[in-house]
A and B are shown apart, each in its own frame.
Chain A
Amino acid sequence: MGYLLEVRNITKRFGGLVAVNNVSMGVNAGEVVGLLGDNGAGKSTLIKVVSGVYGADEGTILFQGKQVQINSPMDALGMGIETIYQDLALAENLNTPANIFLGREKMKKVLGVLNVLDHAYMHAESRKVLEKLDILIPSLRNRIRALSGGQRQAVAISRSIYWDAKFLIMDEPTAALGVAEQKKVIDTINLLKSHGLGIIVISHQMHDIFQVADRMVIMRRGEKVAELVTKQTNPDEVVSLIVGAETVTH
């Protein structure tokens, strides 16, 4: 079976700077690929090409075996490619259902003419998706501001899942979380994987990557320097690849 998502020979330049240089990689359904590299290695630029924030200068993107054009974030979302940014992009002044439904609110008619927000429906649907992901949020009516980092992460993930994400890109999902919450996020990623999603995880936390990733792609100065199977490597090798001590291709 072919990759769920594949990028071929992607190049992205900013003026004279080549941020991503001829990078190819693929992710299968039900697979987690860790994307690693030092600051400025080009990982963020690469995922922003996939999520539609930047257009690539060269290269092609294939999704579900077909070549696709992703010119804007809405294009990516429409295909089911969701990105969970490090800052999570939640409106902290709103509650969980409001964030899950942000931009796609469910309305209902009252008195036959007035279109109002259907809070009860959005509340019930939010509870369902949270239960499906085995996530506990004390009160859905709490504003996001009152939630912990892990709970916020969970809300962001739930939003993607509710809107039928087929592919998830997660930028530093465990950064700034406590140990227990890191573990919870790892569990959630594993659960999503078992549901058949393809997932790219960007992380500096070597420990987490080794727990969730099936494969790793390592970038340095805009180029892909290695692609490793997690079971066949170790943190020392990965670190030396990230900092540039050696180049390996398995």
Chain B
Amino acid sequence: MTRRAGITSFVGQRWSVLFFLVELVFFSAVARGFFTLNGVQIVLFYSTTLALLATAETLVIVTGGIDLSVGFVMGFASVISAKLSGRFAEMGLAPELALLLAILITLAIGLLPGFVNGLLVARLKVPPFLATFAVQGITYGTSLLITQGSAAINVPNLANVIGNGYLIYLVPGQGVSLFTRPQVAPGTPVIDIIPTMVVVTVLFVAVAAYLLKRTRFGQHTYAIGGNIDAAMRAGINTNRHLVAIYVISSFLATLSGIIYMMEYVTGKSDAGSSFMLDSVVAVVIGGASLFGGTGTVWRTILGVLILSVLEMGLKIMGVQTFDKYIAVGIILIFAVLIDQFFPELVRKED
């Protein structure tokens, strides 16, 4: 490889990393308060829901499919978990039990949309685009019916305590407390470190990354995206595998909805409406091809951070959020063009 080609390919493979660094430097310089402990934590906190959706989307896109339902499955889950926890608390259950029960039931219900997606795509050979678009409509409509078009707000306050809690509370000169905010005299500063929901998100994202990269299941996922006939002839049960992928996607979207409910203490049918686009964009920025067969969870997370930093940075600068959509659209086109016209820039090796 010549020196020049080496540089081009270096930049081509890592443009997202460079873009991220440029973004960080730019907003640190321009947006006041962006590059502080608080600023960074706000970006991470804001990224949790999208990170889970984009992780789900990564698994599906690696198989060569797409899951347009994740954003509204997320909203659906936020509504169900908010309604149920509120109802259970009204029935006199302790808040801990009400919340736990609501979360478990929501997680179970949340597998359904994925199962329908999987059956449509794998068994009935409906194009993923259409199958998941249809399921998106159904879940959205169902959550609107449940909430009668408004938000579900009757959530026990415990959700707020956990959802907006931190892993570590540091009281300078006095000590450290894990998970619970220490009782201190008014006026004593408490430094909050790492939002609890970020920890939960990182755990699930790490498991998904491990699943995709290190296990037989993950290897088969790549094989299906690369050449489904080859996978089939190698004895892989591709139908069952695809159903599993869409169910996992739906599970992660449901988890994202539950985290949204905990963070914002509300359930909203359209909580994830803008994430349908953002989750796909994050995956594509991460270097995955929409034709399937490539992509990793951690590179997708980089895509998520690029979007979150952009949004937060613009917000701090006081730019209207409408502009974010335009910026995201342009980044998407840019990322797809790189994939389309410079395939040699995409990594040739594992």
Contact with A along B92-129 (1 / 0, CB 8 A): 00000000000000000000000000000000000000
Complex CA distance for A143 and B348, rounded to whole angstroms: 6
Q: Using Cβ atoms and an 8 Å threshold, which residues of chain A touch B226?
A: 91-94
Q: Are B233 and A73 in contact (CB under 8 A)?
A: yes
9-residue interface stretch from A4-12, A61-69, A95-103: A95-103
Complex CA distance for A141 and B350, rounded to whole angstroms: 6
Q: Are A89 and B229 in contact (CB under 8 A)?
A: yes
A77 contacts the other chain (Cβ, under 8 Å)? yes
Q: Are A115 and B235 in contact (CB under 8 A)?
A: no
Contact A142/B235 with A91-B223, A91-B293, A105-B216 known, Cβ cut-off 8 Å: no
Complex CA distance for A145 and B222, rounded to whole angstroms: 14
Complex CA distance for A103 and B220, rounded to whole angstroms: 7
Q: Are A89 and B227 in contact (CB under 8 A)?
A: yes
The A-contacting residues of B in range 68-99, CB under 8 angstroms, are none
A136 contacts the other chain (Cβ, under 8 Å)? no
Q: Using Cβ atoms and an 8 Å threshold, which residues of chain B touch A85?
A: 233
Q: Are B350 and A90 in contact (CB under 8 A)?
A: no
Contact A95/B230 with A115-B215, A117-B216, A117-B219 known, Cβ cut-off 8 Å: no
What's the minimum C-beta distance from A28 to chain B, rounded to whole angstroms? 27
Complex CA distance for A116 and B235, rounded to whole angstroms: 20
Q: Using Cβ atoms and an 8 Å threshold, which residues of chain A touch B214?
A: 114, 116-117
Q: How large is the interface on A (under 10, 10 to 19, 20 to 34, 35 or more residues)?
A: 20 to 34
Q: Are A95 and B350 in contact (CB under 8 A)?
A: yes
Q: Are A102 and B216 in contact (CB under 8 A)?
A: no
B345 contacts the other chain (Cβ, under 8 Å)? no
Complex CA distance for A115 and B211, rounded to whole angstroms: 10
A229 contacts the other chain (Cβ, under 8 Å)? no
Q: Using Cβ atoms and an 8 Å threshold, which residues of chain B touch A98?
A: 219, 222-223, 350
Most A-side CB within 10 Å, residue of B226, B236, B348, B349: B226
B249 contacts the other chain (Cβ, under 8 Å)? no
Complex CA distance for A104 and B216, rounded to whole angstroms: 9
What's the minimum C-beta distance from A138 to chain B, rounded to whole angstroms? 11
B225 contacts the other chain (Cβ, under 8 Å)? yes
Contact A142/B222 with A87-B229, A90-B227 known, Cβ cut-off 8 Å: no
Contact with A along B174-188 (1 / 0, CB 8 A): 000000000000000
Closest A residue by C-beta to B218: A117
Q: Are B349 and A91 in contact (CB under 8 A)?
A: no
Q: Are B349 and A103 in contact (CB under 8 A)?
A: no
A146 contacts the other chain (Cβ, under 8 Å)? yes
B231 contacts the other chain (Cβ, under 8 Å)? yes
Q: Using Cβ atoms and an 8 Å threshold, which residues of chain B touch A206?
A: none
Q: Using Cβ atoms and an 8 Å threshold, which residues of chain B touch A105?
A: 216, 219
**How many B residues, CB 8 Å from partner?**
24
Q: Are A93 and B225 in contact (CB under 8 A)?
A: yes
Q: Are B350 and A143 in contact (CB under 8 A)?
A: yes
Q: Are A91 and B216 in contact (CB under 8 A)?
A: no
Contact A103/B235 with A116-B214, A141-B350, A143-B350 known, Cβ cut-off 8 Å: yes
Closest B residue by C-beta to A106: B216
Q: Using Cβ atoms and an 8 Å threshold, which residues of chain A touch B292?
A: 93
Q: Are B235 and A91 in contact (CB under 8 A)?
A: no
A74 contacts the other chain (Cβ, under 8 Å)? yes
Complex CA distance for A146 and B1, rounded to whole angstroms: 14
Contact with A along B229-250 (1 / 0, CB 8 A): 1110111100000000000000
Complex CA distance for A67 and B236, rounded to whole angstroms: 27
- Across the interface, A146 reaches (CB within 8 A) one of B215, B229, B230, B348, namely B348
B294 contacts the other chain (Cβ, under 8 Å)? yes
Q: Are B349 and A141 in contact (CB under 8 A)?
A: yes
Closest B residue by C-beta to A53: B233
Q: Using Cβ atoms and an 8 Å threshold, which residues of chain A touch B233?
A: 73, 85, 89
- Across the interface, B216 reaches (CB within 8 A) one of A74, A99, A107, A145, namely A107
The B-contacting residues of A in range 10-52, CB under 8 angstroms, are none
Contact with A along B336-350 (1 / 0, CB 8 A): 000000000000111
Complex CA distance for A87 and B294, rounded to whole angstroms: 21
A211 contacts the other chain (Cβ, under 8 Å)? no
Contact A102/B223 with A89-B229, A93-B294, A107-B216 known, Cβ cut-off 8 Å: yes
Q: Are B227 and A91 in contact (CB under 8 A)?
A: yes
Q: With A91-B293, A116-B214 given, can you name 11 additional A-B contacts, CB distance below 8 Å?
A: A74-B235, A87-B229, A89-B230, A91-B226, A92-B293, A93-B294, A94-B219, A103-B235, A114-B214, A143-B349, A146-B349
Please name 10 pairs of A and B residues whose Cβ atoms are closer than 8 Å in the assembled complex, sorted by A. Answer: A91-B222, A91-B230, A91-B293, A93-B226, A94-B226, A102-B223, A103-B235, A105-B216, A114-B210, A143-B348
